[in-house]
Structure 1
Amino acid sequence: MTAKMIRAFSLLILFTGSFWGSHAFAHELRPAYLQITEDRAGEFNVVWRVPARGQMKLSLDVGFEGPVSELDSAVGRLANGMYTESWRIRSPTGLSGTTVVVKGLEQTMTDALMRVEWLDGTELVGRLVAENPRYTFTAEPSADGWLKTYFVLGVEHILLGIDHLLFVLVLLLLVSGWRSLAVTISAFTLAHSVTLALSVLGLISVPQAPVEAVIALSIVFVASEILMIRRGNLTLAIRRPWLVALGFGLLHGLGFAGALADIGVSQSAIAGSLLAFNLGVEAGQLLFIAAVASLVVLVRKVLESSNLAEARVGGIGATATMLVVYAIGGTASWWLIDRTVVLVS
């Protein structure tokens, strides 16, 4: 990778860090989740989960308007970074004519995923957003758009997942040349697609907390390998970056599976749901890489029109790159400590 390309990536990382640097901000971007399941005729079990940090949770609440009544009061608990409430409701119309409202959604930077299952096997998957935090059920719920919902969920998870993006960025800084970059990103894609599919199919099951800790470790590891390059060392990871992408990609796939587990997968359309979500992840990843490539072109044009001597610009770029690598490694190290403390607490 040329010095100009490295400087371009450094600028992008600095911008990304300033925009997403707050751990609390990234945490808020996780979606809320509403599960409504009919287990008896006209009676539904409701589960509502919102992101939480410590004893603090997002100020989001669910309300029902129309022909519906509560059978019991909501019971809540904090666990695994989520606040979960559950209660039961009765709807003689099977929710037809009922409107569900997520109160407070318009004041947040997140959205709410909704999954509804009826006794006859009918399922509905949808998203409630700040611009439209309401949904009204009809007599015959339509399943149209569920593929779009899973696709958008995949795009959002990669683009709003700062740890996944930082891993992709340090991979870009580690590799040398576009051919190596293509092989490395392909290895990462293949690996996380495999573990995502195995997890959704129920063939493997790993708790999310240790997975998130190891994802942070993957960023620290690749950042340290970049420093090895600067010191003239050639480790196996530097010579074969696709091996790093392949190995850690398996773990990142388990992280993606955790996001998909939040909304669940229709057993009657498991292949389509998995495919749509994975395509969304890949689309988001390609959008991010395209943004990086566009920035490379822009910085190249700026440097070509600059009157600064190439040696001076190269020195500034090398220093900036080192500072950014240390910043990424330091941030990921903090995540690793924070997520490890959660495991042992």
Structure 2
Amino acid sequence: MIRRALLPLLLCLLCVSFTAQAHEIRPAYLQIDETAPQQYELVWKVPTNNGMVQDIRPSFAPSFTLTPIPGETVVNGFVLFRYRLSGDRSLAGSSLQISNLDRTAIDALVNVSLIDGSHYSFLLRPRDNSAEIPETPAAWRVVQTYSVLGIEHILAGIDHLAFVAALMLIVRGWPMLLKTVTAFTVAHSITLGLATLGYVSLPPPPVEALIALSILLVAAEAVHLRRGKRSLATRWPWLIAFAFGLLHGFGFAGALQEIGLPQSDIPLALLFFNVGVEIGQLLFIAALLGLANLLSKLGRLPQQAPTAAAYGIGALAAFWVIERVDVMFF
């Protein structure tokens, strides 16, 4: 019943995906480093969209002077701006605003490093685009910031959600669903941690192409299952979830590296980014199961609904494979 009731939400996923990128909307990133008493260097990274960059920029209290350094650069879909900041007081306890952020749908991650060893991380949003830089570091800000970023990443990562949905199409029963989700979580947590900490690395373009291929393969297994053909994937879906989860972890790591990490709190930020990813994943699964329960009360869906859902996910994944291979070679 669960597999049969997934079709409406999966078709919605398909329609949305054709008009959206398979990646998350990346936040802007502001790194502030104190180089001498009341003297700061800033790096401001703004994500581009189809070659365009939003007119958003940091703004400080009147007691500070912000001086642009000429020569912005474009790196991996971001435009990097550099500034010098000086003032007659410490930055701690002063206000920071991202001008024009309220006119966008972009979040802004801020990391501050002071020469006394203090470090701060916090997230600014379009509807809350200003904050006071705290005078005392608080670990809960890192926890809050990176948990939110993890949730946003997975819920906007249509390809990762499509993989989870495809896995649910080949799972039979609640115990196997729990085992499969746990295997996927453990696997991508391993490679997310190892890649973020620099122990292993893979180039992003092949990883993205292989992630798309993993979705296509699991969707194909779902079709085979509906035709009565059982395989390793349908007998032990948790094993497939673990194997491909290792690959998806590299994708999560690439996103986290683009977002940026507070150098003094890397383990904490990494842990709670992963926690956020898991919360978002569980929310998605809960939405699918909730819809399944609702539809089971309203009536039966066609017998071929799971097959149609698998074909829809597979078609989308095939499109991503072609698109990402094309990016790799052209």
The alignment's TM-score, normalised by the length of structure 2, stands at 0.89
Partner residue, 2:187: 191
Task: Report what 1:133 is aligned to.
Answer: 129
Matching residue's letter, 1:254: F
- Does residue 16 in structure 1 map to residue 1 in structure 2? no
Q: Could you tell me how far apart the structure 1 residues matched to 2:38 and 2:84 are?
A: 11
State the match for 2:243 in structure 1.
247
Question: Which residue, out of 44, 48, 56, partners 1:60?
Answer: 56
Write the deviation string for residues 100-139 of structure 1: whole angstroms up to 9, x where unpaired: 322332233331111111122211110111111112335x
Partner of 1:30 in structure 2? 26
Instruction: Report if the CA contact (8 A) 1:115-1:263 is conserved.
Output: no
Q: Secondary structure at the match of 2:32?
A: strand
1:39 is the counterpart of 2:35: yes
5+ residue gaps, structure 1: 304-312
Most deviating of 269-278 and 245-254: 269-278
Aligned residue in 2 for 1:307: none
Matched-pair contact (CA < 8 Å) for 2:72–2:82: yes
The alpha-carbon deviation at position 21 of structure 1 amounts to 4.1
Aligned equivalent of 2:118, options 119, 122, 125: 122
Identity of aligned residues (%): 42
Counterpart of 1:335 in structure 2 is 320
Q: How does 1:109-188 map to 2 (within 5 A)?
A: 109-137=105-133, 140-143=135-138, 144-188=140-184
Could you say which residue in structure 2 is the equivalent of 1:93?
A: 89
> Is the 2:14–2:316 Cα contact (8 Å) retained in structure 1?
no
How far apart are the structure 2 equivalents of 1:325 and 1:285?
A: 19
- Structure-2 separation of matches of 1:238 and 1:122: 51
User: Partners in 1 of 2:133 and 2:326 — Cα distance?
Assistant: 43
What is the deviation of 1:329? 1.8
Within-5 A mapping of 1:305-324: 313=300, 316-318=302-304, 320-324=305-309
Deviation digits for residues 258-293 of structure 1 (CA, Å, limit 9, x no counterpart): 232234434543333222222222122112111222
Q: Are the equivalent residues in 2 in contact too, given 1:33–1:262 (CA < 8 A)?
A: no
Deviation at 1:92, TM superposition (A): 3.6
Within-5 A mapping of 1:225-236:
225-236=221-232
Residue-pair matches, total:
329
**CA RMSD, Structure 1 to Structure 2 (Å):** 2.4
Partner secondary structure for residue 319 of structure 2: helix
Any conservation in 2 of the 1:65–1:98 contact (CA below 8 Å)? yes
Choose which of 281, 297, 303 in structure 1 pairs with 2:277: 281
- State the 1:85 CA deviation: 2.2
Provide the C-alpha distance between the structure 2 equivalents of 1:9 and 1:118, rounded to a whole number of angstroms.
51
- Partners of 2:47 and 2:151 in 1: CA distance: 19
Cα distance in 1, alignment partners of residues 177 and 126 from structure 2: 37
Q: 2:2 aligns with which of 2, 5, 19?
A: 5
Amino acid aligned to 1:300: S
When structure 1 is superposed on structure 2, of 62-71 and 221-230 the one drifting more is 62-71
Tell me: CA distance 1:342–1:63, structure 2 relative to 1, closer, same or farther (3 Å). Answer: farther
- Distance (whole Å) between structure 2 residues aligned to residue 338 and residue 224 of structure 1: 19
Q: Structure 1 residue 28: deviation in Å?
A: 6.7
CA positional deviation for 1:98: 4.4
TM-score (norm 1): 0.86
Pick which of 112-121 and 38-47 moved more.
38-47
C-alpha separation in 2, matches of 1:71 and 1:51:
21
* Equivalent residue letter for 1:326: Y
> In the alignment, residue 22 of structure 1 is paired with which amino acid?
T
Distance (whole Å) between structure 2 residues aligned to residue 34 and residue 268 of structure 1: 16
